[in-house]
Amino acid sequence: MKIYMLLKDRFVEALNQAKGEREIHAFLKKDPLLVWATFMNCGGHSDYVIPEFSLSGKYYADFVVMQSFSGGWNIAFIELEPVDENPFIKDGSPSKRLRGAVKQINDWHDFERDEGASLRSHLAEAAWRYDTLYPERNLAREPWCAKLPLRDPKTYLCCKYYIVMGRRSHFNEELIHVKSKFARHHNNAEILTYDRFIEAAEKLDQQKQNEHYKSRGIGRKDKEFLAQFAKEPEKFSISSNRDVDTYPSEINVYGTCYKIQRMEEGDGLVVRGCLRR
């Protein structure tokens, strides 16, 4: 007989067995709803969870979680560090691993500040190709927030940065105080412990959201599309390296018609309108 385990129990078991962050990363890749619920569990239009997000091949985030709202996007960049390591040493100074994580956060923040157009393009491309939360409805679709595509330079991005490291049991009262003011001096990068995932898992279990998510029905057409997309993703692409003039004015991507136009400033394309069919 197969024994059903709650998401919280499975995650705690994974934490107890983990020797670093890689095991937890593998667990979370299989349960993207838990990642979304930990960092973005609020109302919005479209939701994405993207593992191993690359910024121009220079910088990498373990996860990026995206949620659209009217006129913009909430974006969470997440760096996972070891479960069994305290972010701070006894005198309150950052540990070596935390200092390394902070450097990554600073790189992401600088990229956001200096290369906003490139960031939008990378996020849109990753959402189009690699979403793990709702692939049956998100893959091969340009991400939108109400009336604007993510690639549009007028789209507002609200980016937040998170370092997940250690357990609450690692913190005494003094270190809790150090942790609470850490973001003020480090590009608003918030330190969370893995206990935050446990809390989110418990809520999903109580509301039976994870059970519903895992058993959600995926229609035959969706399954056929996912299989086809996995084999030939470029067949659906509107952002390859082809010359701009070879693009059609419209493209139908899995039932959604997108209007494609040149960008008003600079090189490239932007999706300007969408007609649901």
Contact (CB, 8 A) for 86 and 95: yes
Q: In this model, does residue 181 exceed pLDDT 70?
A: yes
The per-residue pLDDT of the chain, averaged, comes to 83
Q: In this model, does residue 154 exceed pLDDT 90?
A: no
Strands (E) in 175-255, as ranges, are 189-192, 250-253
Q: In this model, does residue 268 exceed pLDDT 60?
A: no
The pLDDT value recorded for residue 242 is 46
What is the secondary structure of 7-73 as a DSSP string?
A: HHHHHHHHHHH-SSSHHHHHHHHH-HHHHHHHHH-S--S-EEEEEEEEETTTEEEEEEEEEEETTEE
**DSSP bridge pairs for 47:** 67
Contact (CB, 8 A) for 65 and 160: no
- pTM for the model stands at 0.84
pLDDT band, residue 252 (cuts 50/70/90): low
**DSSP bridge pairs for 114:** none
Q: In this model, does residue 245 exceed pLDDT 60?
A: no
Q: Is the four-CA dihedral 47, 52, 57, 60 of positive or negative sign?
A: positive
Taking the CA atoms of the chain, what radius of gyration do you get in angstroms?
20
Give the residue-averaged pLDDT of 127-140. Answer: 92
Burial grade of 37 (CB within 10 A; 0-12, 13-18, 19 or more)? buried
The pLDDT value recorded for residue 262 is 58
The pLDDT value recorded for residue 257 is 55
Q: In this model, does residue 275 exceed pLDDT 50?
A: no
Q: In this model, does residue 182 exceed pLDDT 60?
A: yes
Contact (CB, 8 A) for 49 and 31: no
pLDDT band, residue 36 (cuts 50/70/90): very high
Q: At what angle do helices 195-206 and 7-17 cross, to 10 degrees?
A: 160
Contact (CB, 8 A) for 69 and 232: no
Burial grade of 66 (CB within 10 A; 0-12, 13-18, 19 or more)? buried
- Please tell me the distance from the alpha carbon of residue 100 to that of residue 97, in angstroms, as a whole number: 5
- Please tell me the distance from the alpha carbon of residue 65 to that of residue 120, in angstroms, as a whole number: 14
The pLDDT value recorded for residue 1 is 43
Reported as a single tens digit per residue, the pLDDT across 92-127 is 888 899 999 999 999 999 999 998 888 999 999 999
The pLDDT value recorded for residue 267 is 52
Pairing of strands 256-262, 250-253: antiparallel
Q: In the structure encoding, which two tokens stand for residue 71, read together?
A: 């006129």
- Please tell me the distance from the alpha carbon of residue 156 to that of residue 160, in angstroms, as a whole number: 13
Top pLDDT among 175 and 6 is at: 6
Give the residue-averaged pLDDT of 13-41. Answer: 92
What is the secondary structure of 68-123 as a DSSP string?
A: EETTEEEEEEEEE--TT--SB-TTSPBPHHHHHHHHHHHHHHHHHHH-HHHHHHHH
pLDDT band, residue 276 (cuts 50/70/90): very low
pLDDT band, residue 274 (cuts 50/70/90): very low
Q: In this model, does residue 248 exceed pLDDT 70?
A: no
Give the residue-averaged pLDDT of 156-169. Answer: 92
